Amino acid sequence: MTVRGATAQDLPGVALMHSRCSAKTLLDRYRVGGRSPAVLILDRHVREPLSFVVTADDGRVVALALVSPDTSHNFGSGEVAMIVEDDWQQLGIGKALLRHVAAAAQLCGYRQLIAYPGTTVVAIQQLMQGVGTTRVIVDAQRHLHTSLPDSARFGLGSAGRNAAVLGRSTAALG
């Protein structure tokens, strides 16, 4: 498994990964209809400065995560979104990917991550608690707030020393 920054060249792999996901997995990620988004939307996802993929040893994309500014919350808040292909769930990939994404977000100046889970609030809450203090906000759009402590940056691993990965991410705060 490899976690790395996503690029436009990952679009076909990301689209194929979405086609291998169940309707429930798609519903949990996109919260609408249980189907893959249009290719145009996936293209935007892989072009986000803080967009990451997980690839299997054979190069197949098996997970995607990204952080983008969350304009409905205060400055320093980033919306985190993640999807892991069904056959690769429950293997620790989501946990490793979220730690990586949280580290990159913290290094880029985000102070908290906001998640809008579909039907899996408890599972996402458990994942988010692995990177910081998490609380559930129950309102019209139930969501999670996770504060990012300074120690979150240690989740980046060897990529934290890779200037190319971090350089690509510095414009993330927009």
Mean pLDDT in residue range 33-54? 90
Bridge partners (DSSP) listed for residue 64:
53, 83
pLDDT at 162 over 90: no
Range of the domain at 80: 2-173
For the chain, how many structural domains are there in total? 1
pLDDT at 80 over 50: yes
pLDDT 10s digits, 114-146? 888 877 778 888 888 888 888 888 877 778 888
What pLDDT score was predicted for residue 86? 92
CB 42 within 8 A of CB 18: yes
pLDDT at 53 over 90: yes
- Find how far residue 135's CA is from the centre of its chain: 18
What pLDDT score was predicted for residue 156? 61
Other CB atoms within a 10 A radius of the CB of residue 140 amount to: 5
For the record, the structure tokens of 62 come out as 């098996």
- Find how far residue 87's CA is from the centre of its chain: 18
Find the Cα–Cα–Cα–Cα dihedral 119, 143, 51, 47, rounded to 10°: 90
What pLDDT score was predicted for residue 56? 94
**pTM for the structure as a whole:** 0.82
CA dihedral sign of residues 9, 158, 20, 141:
negative
CATH number at residue 102: 3.40.630.30
Question: Comparing 9-18, 60-69, 75-84, which segment has the lowest mean pLDDT?
Answer: 75-84
